[in-house]
Amino acid sequence: MNIYTGGSFNLFHEGHVELLEYCRKLAGDGQVIVALNTDDFIARFKGKAPTMTYSQRRAVLLSCKYVDNVIPNYDGEDSKPSILDAKADMIVIGMDWLDKDYCKQMSFNSEWLNKNKIALCYVPRTTGTSTTKIKEIVKNG
């Protein structure tokens, strides 16, 4: 089974590891493919450039034992091309997205998922760690 997850993965932390470990468990003998947001997309979406460049974030992800491949999320707001390129059987995302409209943000809906035979799975987040929290700690000492 090919598992797709995506994001910025800026300042790689234990919450990212936890998500990727879930992906690995779900993939079994299949692949875990991470669609990594480009620097341009992050600047547009978050209003500022990422702390680490795309190539730096990609290198960190590829060093993670749970990740098989990293591809660019080259269409930014529309993740469908990256999802299809990954030949995803399942999209895995953290439970923190449950109250947000993840499908809308990724520019797909349940009909598109069903048509392409792709499942969407929300996995628990237990660490509470986030890049935003890390940046706040660094900023405030």
Distance CA 5, CA 50 (A): 19
Residues in the chain: 141
Distance CA 42, CA 26 (A): 28
Residues known to be catalytic: 46, 48
Distance CA 7, CA 16 (A): 10
Distance CA 136, CA 141 (A): 8
